[in-house]
Structure 1
Amino acid sequence: MQSNRLPVSDYLDTAVTAARAAAAILQAYAHNRAELVIDKKTRNDLVSQADREAEQAIIEILRERTPELGIVAEESGGFTSGAATWYIDPLDGTTNFLHAIPQYAVSIGLIAHAGALVTGDTPLEQDTPIIGVVYDPNREELFTAMHGVGAWLNEHRIACSSTEQLAESVVATGFPFRDFSFADQYMPTLHQAINTTRGVRRLGAAALDLAWVACGRYDGYWEMGLAPWDVAAGTLIVREAGGICEDIHHRDPWPVKGYVYAGNTHTAPALDAMIRPHLTKG
């Protein structure tokens, strides 16, 4: 059985190497934004060659070191395959990046598929995040997590906040900006949060929002209409920091469809209860 176990430590090292390579490309462009070529995919959905080159750098490293795994990336697509699949966001917070707002990150998560052997001798029963890396190159903050082992910010172990009440919580969110089809579900939750929490923040990079929940800067976070690569890494980082990060609809084993809520063991259930009445049934 030992030979079939996924080499999780090696995968973490690979993801960190890839994230740093991508960040180096982003920061080179960050100092020379005037020369960036920007394409508009759809309304408020921008991509630059910084995104594309950073993604390519990640993919080259992952393919070289982990050819047996699948890859799903924001700009180039891909598909799930093998015992596990990488989910890559080479630049989470593109709009911030293009406007010189220093709130963006590289996000790389690894989802092991049902049947994979990660720890012990029992195969996983469902798809499970097992590696999470979120790198903020502006603050030089590297958030990492390994399934069953823990979560770290640089070399220090991190944990979610101990806040027990939403009334004492600072929570993060993201507004609809590209897909407005769920606005009628989202807007009531925002209104309620504004009225019942200590404060709501919207900084525009979901991967960092989740990482900041994991290290206790935020007490909770929720958002709708994201992509799987936005949340794959952050989901594990929150979970390994002792928190809860789940699908708002409680249908998937992780928020693969981009409807996510997260927090500590007190605030996450409270957010869930706040959101649930406003969800469209079906």
Structure 2
Amino acid sequence: MQNTSHPKHHLLDLRMAIDAAVCAAHTGAAVLQSYAHHRADLIIDHKARNDLVSQADREAEAAVIEALQSRMPGLGIVAEETGGVPQGPATWYIDPLDGTTNYLSGIPHYAVSIALIAHAGTPVSIDESVKVDTPVIGVVYDPCREELFTSVYGVGSWLNGRRIACSRTGSLTESVVATGFPFRDFSFAEQYMPTLNAAIHTTRGVRRLGAAALDLAWTACGRYDGYWEMGLAPWDVAAGTLILREAGGICTDMHQADPWPKGGYVVAGNPQVHKELVAMIAPHLKPGQP
């Protein structure tokens, strides 16, 4: 359901926003890397089964929020650890550590993910106001590889300053695709497992590396041809959605209920692979279930 209660807004400065997001991502990553080589000293809390949070997550998130608020006050913030609600002309969606399990295990595959969602009615250029809630800034930073994925609505996507584009693979049978298994919430396992079985038998290969933001960014730059996952959070997919879209790909909500997959049921890929992934998944989705 769209947030239609926002008053008339001034033009959103996307240039300032991308600069703020990049600065904040580097700031958050510096906190993560400061702990990375002595992970055994981290205080780790269990929010739920297989749902871990450490002081690295919390301190990185606080650093990201401070960096964003100091540069662009007046925008909403929704963050993994501290929560928040969408408000104002646009809202930041922040995942200070996407791939927490990898990070805590010493697997060098995790990222800081920051997105700005412009709310319906917000002007994003002189000629355009978004009609529905829309990702307009996306930053995913992988500090282990020093890879910075950035994207601006209507302008494009880049990896370390070089423009990127999704793959041109022409069919699902020729594709390497990424996914994520149920690991915390198993309520959708009956929907998910048949899709994994179908993909194993249909594609060239399925990969599961455990960081949704990087799965979307890697699809955007052509390393993967497609990606699907269930049961994610909005901050997992907000930035990657825009990065992939601006790289020529398609990223949608599996249930086609929202303009971006904020419900965490995401299917993505180049246009042809996305179409075939949707067809592969559709028979296994249960109506009325998230």
**Shorter-chain TM-score: what band?**
over 0.9
Structure 2 counterpart of 1:46:
52
Query: 1:281: which partner in 2?
Result: 287
Map 1:82-231; keep pairs closer than 5 Å.
Answer: 82-231=88-237
1:210 aligns to what SS in structure 2? helix
What is the CA-CA distance between 1:119 and the residue it aligns to? Answer: 2.2
Match of 1:58 among 61, 64, 69: 64
Find the aligned partners of 2:10 and 2:84 in 1 and give their Cα distance. Answer: 24
How far, CA to CA, are the matches of 1:53 and 1:177 in structure 2?
25
Listed one character per residue, the Cα deviations across residues 31-69 of structure 1 (whole Å, up to 9, x for unaligned) are 111211110000000000000000000010111111110
The DSSP-based 3-state class of the residue aligned with 2:168 is coil
Q: How many Å separate the matches in 2 of 1:30 and 1:41?
A: 21
CA distance in structure 1 between the aligned counterparts of 2:34 and 2:68, rounded to whole angstroms: 22
Distance in 1 between the 2:69 and 2:224 partners? 35
Distance 2:283 2:68 in 1: 41
CA displacement at 1:83 relative to structure 2 = 0.4
2:12 corresponds to which letter in structure 1? L
Q: Secondary structure at the match of 1:200?
A: strand
Separation in 2, partners of 1:215, 1:230 = 18
Unaligned 5+ segments in structure 2 are: 1-8
Q: Distance in 2 between matches of 1:148 and 1:25?
A: 32
Q: Quote how far apart the aligned CAs of 1:120 are.
A: 3.6
C-alpha deviation, 1:6, in angstroms:
0.6
Paired with 2:104 and 2:40, the residues of 1 have a C-alpha distance of 10
Q: Which runs of 4+ in 1 moved over 3 A?
A: none
**Structure 2 SS opposite 1:47:** strand
3-state SS in 2 of match to 1:79: coil
Q: How far is 1:188 from its partner?
A: 0.3
TM-score, L = length of structure 1: 0.98
2:14 is matched with 8
Q: 2:257 aligns with which of 235, 251, 271?
A: 251
Distance of 2:80 and 2:287 partners within structure 1: 29
Amino acid at match of 1:173: T
Q: Quick one: distance in 2 between partners of 1:251 and 1:257?
A: 9
Query: Does the residue aligned with 1:78 lie in a helix, a strand or coil?
Result: coil
- How far 1:5 sits from its partner (Å)? 1.2
Q: Which SS does the other structure have where 2:271 is aligned?
A: coil
**Alignment match, 2:27:** 21
**What is the RMSD computed on CA atoms of the aligned residues?**
0.8
What is the identity, as a one-letter code, of the residue corresponding to 1:238?
L
Out of 275, 278, 283, the residue aligned to residue 272 of structure 1 is 278
Query: Normalising by structure 2, what TM-score?
Result: 0.96
Residue 73 of structure 2 is matched in structure 1 by 67
CA distance in 2, matches of 1:122, 1:195: 44
Structure 1 position 12, deviation (Å): 0.2
- Where does the alignment leave 5 or more consecutive residues of structure 1 unmatched? none
Q: How far does residue 121 in structure 1 lie from its aligned partner after superposition?
A: 2.6
Identity among equivalent positions (%) equals 71
Deviations 1:95-134 (A, max 9, x none): 0000000010000000000000002433211000000000
Deviation of 1:4 after TM superposition, in Å, equals: 2.1
* Whole-angstrom distance in 2 between the partners of 1:80 and 1:20: 24
